[in-house]
Amino acid sequence: MDEIGIDPVRLKALTVEGRKKIVDSLFAHAGEADAQQTLTDPKGYVAPPLDRIRANEPYLHNGNVPTLWHLMNSDDRPAVWRPVAPRMDEDKVGLTIEQASQIAVSSNDRVFGRSYFDTRKFGKSGDGHRFSDALSKSEKQEVLEYLKTF
């Protein structure tokens, strides 16, 4: 978690004891062999397989990264954004978004407010997974093009 630097809230949301109770409950199919393999003390998030990753937007466990381009270009990730039409951004691979400096909403327009993703909120941090910072601009684009072929 220290190395990847992504938002830890979901990981910390359950205690080891709480996870053990879930494993023993119907929610984990108690009694079946695979229930015993559930981790009760995970140290981080699972790095998921990247096949068909283009269809898994928005990215990372809390969905704070709208496109693979934003994943590869960490400094350009939006602090506040919302999806707009057309839904898919084929170039950046993910959601077409509108960025905002703050949520343009009045107190009685909650539905509109909820259409925004605000990375400044608890559990919604857009930090971390900055491994592509080590790549040049053209190398980032090459990885992005490669991910499109999955």
Nearer to ligand HEM, 112 or 146 (CB): 146
In the complex, the smallest distance separating the C-beta of residue 32 from ligand HEM, rounded to whole angstroms, is: 26
Nearer to ligand HEM, 21 or 54 (CB): 54
State how far the Cα of 105 lies from the Cα of 108, in Å rounded to an integer. 8
Q: Is 79 helix (H, G, I), strand (E, B) or coil?
A: coil
State how far the Cα of 75 lies from the Cα of 135, in Å rounded to an integer. 13
In the complex, the smallest distance separating the C-beta of residue 63 from ligand HEM, rounded to whole angstroms, is: 8
In the complex, the smallest distance separating the C-beta of residue 113 from ligand HEM, rounded to whole angstroms, is: 24
In the complex, the smallest distance separating the C-beta of residue 141 from ligand HEM, rounded to whole angstroms, is: 12
Phi, psi of 135 (to 5 degrees): -95, 155
Site residues, ligand HEM (CB under 6 A): 3-4, 6, 44-45, 47-48, 50, 53, 56, 59-61, 68, 71, 129, 131-132, 143
Q: Is 119 exposed, middle or buried (0-12, 13-18, 19+ CB in 10 A)?
A: middle
56: Cβ contacts below 8 Å, ≥ 6 apart: 48
Nearer to ligand HEM, 82 or 140 (CB): 140
Q: Which two tokens stand for residue 5?
A: 């630097």
Q: Which two tokens stand for residue 6?
A: 């992504």
Nearer to ligand HEM, 82 or 129 (CB): 129
